[in-house]
Structure 1
């Protein structure tokens, strides 16, 4: 199928580290491939890679255990199904140090910032356990809205995916593969930047956890209608993958024809420790309610 060997594109010893391969060299190889452009595909297949970024790798600032194996499985899947994947979309979690889910936003009555993974509740704020450095009214409103709407409680994360840093960049070997695909199949990558609003977390790729202006990525939701299969993988399974799926499924809850075309690659994503059981239970609910498919990458026939 391809003249270029998998190992010419991906170096598995470098996953999560410095990329030894130059993108221009890889793209020259891609340009030399004689493969049909994706515009000719009769069956349209979209691969959605959620937050495959350096800071979510095993040596990153918000490390997800087993993420290196997820990259291996994902890149091999993309290579083996190269001529069947029409388009690739990726999300990029993109933050600043001073956001509501980072330690610098909050202090206790002694001026100490919360440790990573601290949960801050409405009661904590009302009783003065934690105080926002600024935007006090809006910060309380945000936490109240999370609890009122049954969203995940505010969790203070380690600084991660800070815009312009290496941690915010796509993991190198995954990047090699998707850009190789883009050139060889003449298929532009859809890149979705999320998480820049200071007053809200944005786990899902469609909308923030809470936003006064009710922002929704309608363009991407509309894009999904054009595909016969939608394949989903990424990090972390328990948070950004799960919430992205939830937002898409809730939007299309009355369209089982679309939701049943979603395939979640179980061996191409992993959870943040402590959230594994909830992730599994939620995915099981999605299967029953929306008829999505949970599959292993080496078992999926496209």
Structure 2
């Protein structure tokens, strides 16, 4: 039983905005708790929070509708299960303005940059509809490989999660609860920075969409083996959550005992408009193929 009330940690009226609570105050409360250290847990539970950052909030640069409610559901779930969650891992989408999925990378024959949500195909580049400001050949190769491998086509996004900005930071109230957990349970947060390669999108937390060096976050894949349950939440359901799941499931496709440990918290994530149906279809396929569990956070008993 926690001595600290939920409202002392999380201010739901401040979701997506400046954090009225200081981290030092939060961590003093956490240090005063007298609950078991995470290393004493008999059942090991990992919570994975994907890209729960300010720019993906409803008032952010790349807003996901319903993300405020997702934060409310996520923070309440974490608070009520603090003594059962062993470890928290979070990913941090981290970009610069000069990346292949941002408008400044491309121009048309009039020198105009593409509008956000423009889809750029191999044919568009070959025909001169869009040209890279620099690295034309590498850019064409990237788009060609996406289509060859059946990945999502290149989408131009609004500038978002620029390294060092408020938009790239963890959403404040989510940050409060996970750092509270870290100190109260003596459990370091596993933070995964992703998306810094200028020549690739990186929706998933395991690997970029295409990368000549075939980078794979093997350390995190190996880490997953140490847990009895793996809980997944985050933004956006249709992109970074979905691709993170896909990458993990494809890696462990021959190990249903492993994939069946995964619990997707469906009320703690939302899709980018226009991509909702694809996300639902993919999740149903994951459930059929890999025996993952799709649950509501208030119905999951840990």
The alignment's TM-score, normalised by the length of structure 2, stands at: 1.00
What does residue 298 of structure 2 align with? 298
Report the RMSD for the aligned CA atoms in angstroms: 0.2
| Equivalent residues in 2 for 1:56-71, closer than 5 Å | 56-71=56-71
Q: Distance in 2 between matches of 1:294 and 1:244?
A: 15
Match of 2:192 in 1: 192
Q: Would you say 1:223 and 2:223 are equivalent positions? A: yes
1:247 to 2:269 alignment: no
Cα deviation for residue 46 of structure 1 reads 0.1
- Secondary structure of 2:59 counterpart: coil
Q: Which residue of 2 aligns with 1:126?
A: 126
Determine the structure 1 residue equivalent to 2:82.
82
1:215 is displaced (CA, Å) by 0.1
Instruction: Tell me the residue number matched to 2:141.
Output: 141
Instruction: Map Cα deviations across residues 88-116 of structure 1 (whole Å, 9 max, x no partner).
Output: 00000000001000000000000000000
Give the Cα separation in 2 of the matches to 1:188 and 1:214: 28
Q: Distance in 1 between matches of 2:258 and 2:231?
A: 12
Shift of residue 272, structure 1, vs aligned partner: 0.1
Q: Structure 1: give runs of 5+ residues left out of the alignment.
A: none
2: CA distance, partners of 1:236 / 1:205? 13
Query: Whole-Å Cα distance in 1 between the matches of residues 253 and 30 of structure 2?
Result: 39
In the TM superposition, structure 1's runs of 4+ consecutive aligned residues that sit over 2 Å from their partners are none
- Displacement after TM superposition at 1:66 (Å): 0.2
Q: Deviations over 1:136-192 (max 9, x none)?
A: 110000000000000000000000000000000000000000000000000000000
Q: Give 2:157's aligned residue.
A: 157
1:262-273 matches, cutoff 5 A? 262-273=262-273
Aligned mates of 1:296, 1:35 — CA distance in 2: 26
Superposed displacement of residue 288, structure 1: 0.3
Q: Residue 260 of structure 2 corresponds to which residue in structure 1?
A: 260
- The equivalent residue for 1:44 is 44
Secondary structure, aligned partner of 1:46: strand
For the residue of structure 2 that corresponds to 1:72, the secondary structure is helix
> Match of 2:193, SS?
strand
The normalised TM-score by structure 1 is 1.00
